[in-house]
Structures are given as structure tokens and as C-alpha cells.
Structure 1
């Protein structure tokens, strides 16, 4: 929400500045055709204010709905945090278990064994061949 608000507020400042510059350019080409500068600027500020608040609300709602659907469909969850900490304990344990399983797998597969890395070719590891012989 804060990120979208800041981005939309910055965009709003650019829109108001552009409206002011365009009023001066149009007034120089055709004087006394446009409304007063204060009226023109007030309308621009009003439109930008509505845009910033509605845009912030819509982006926040969209992020909430995306996170909700990602929770059930397995998508990527958007999370912006302020504190950079290590992985949660459950993730750290899972990483440790995966590292142990990888280490065990590497010790069971003999280095240089043809077909050890490619199970789709139908080749069996050396240990499995010895057991069947």
C-alpha cells in the first residue's frame, strides 16, 4: 500500500507540473481562452487526488486478492518486509534435510558410473547391478 501510494503520488506531482506547463503554453498561444491558472490547477490537483486514493486502494486490493489466490493455487506470494531475517525455522529444517539427502545420494551413486545421472535411459547404478548379479 505504501509503495503504490508513493508511486502514484510521484506520478500525481508530475501530472500537476505538466498541467501547469501546458496551461502556460496554451495561454501564450491563445490568451484569454482558458480559465484562470488557479482554477486550472485546482481541477488538476482534484483529479490527481482522486487518482492517488483510488489507485492506492485498487492496487492494495489487487495485491490482497493475488496473495489470497496464491495461497490456494500455489503461486508466488508477494510480501514486502522491513526486517531482513534468516529463513523461518521450517524452511531452514527443510533446507538441512535436502542437503543431507543430497549428500547421501552422492555417496550411493559411484562417480563415473555411466547413466548414474540419467535415469531416463534405463541404466541402473552400479550398486543395483551388483545386487541383481
Structure 2
């Protein structure tokens, strides 16, 4: 697929896709006219890269661990540096904290929605009786 199609499938700008390629995070074959030609699996790779970047990992670390992430449970890369392990542990801990905050926020929004819906339902049926649209909710 061409860069425009990859951009649409991943909601990532072509400029950012070219940057990922420069950083060695994705790759493309070149057609005779010089156009980039990406494999279908590149969609998943771009989404994975974006997720790792959103989590705060720098591209230099992402580049090193991407080959290991194709098959979960077999993640291993030879000769990890102490700096790399520390950075990964820090990012893992940061992700855990973000998950906790997001979970609390989700629960708060759920509570808010429940309250709003309960209040809307109570307002629509005063004294437990169905509202009458002709009388503005008043019963005669």
C-alpha cells in the first residue's frame, strides 16, 4: 500500500510515517517510480509505534524492542543495557500509574452518567407517573 493509504488506515500523517521510516521503526519497499510500498502488516506496526510513543518511550528504545514485540511471550533481546532496562521499567511503572488514573476517571464518568440518567428519568416522570406531552408533564 502507498503512504496515503497507510496514513488513512493509521490516522498518521505521511510526514510522521516518513519520520518513522527514517528512525528505522517501519520500512517500505520502493517501486520503480520511487513510491513507497508498505506491506499490510505495517498498519499494525505503526499503531504499535504510536502506542509506545504515547507511553513515553523514545524512538531509540522503540527501535531496539520492536523486533521482539512481534510475538508476545518470546520477548528477548541480547545484551540489554542497564540504561535500557531502567528506561523500560520506568515506562512500565508510568503506564501502570496512567492506567490507574484512567480507571478512576472512567469510574467517575460512569458515576456521573448514572446520576444524570437517573435524574433525567425522575424528571420525565413526576410522582412516578408518565409525562403527558400535551400538558407539559402535568396530569389533570
TM-score of the superposed pair, with normalisation by structure 1: 0.31
Q: Which protein has the bigger helix share?
A: 1
Greater relative CO, 1 or 2 (CA 8 Å, sep 6+): 1
Larger radius of gyration: 1
| TM-score, length of structure 2 as denominator length | 0.30
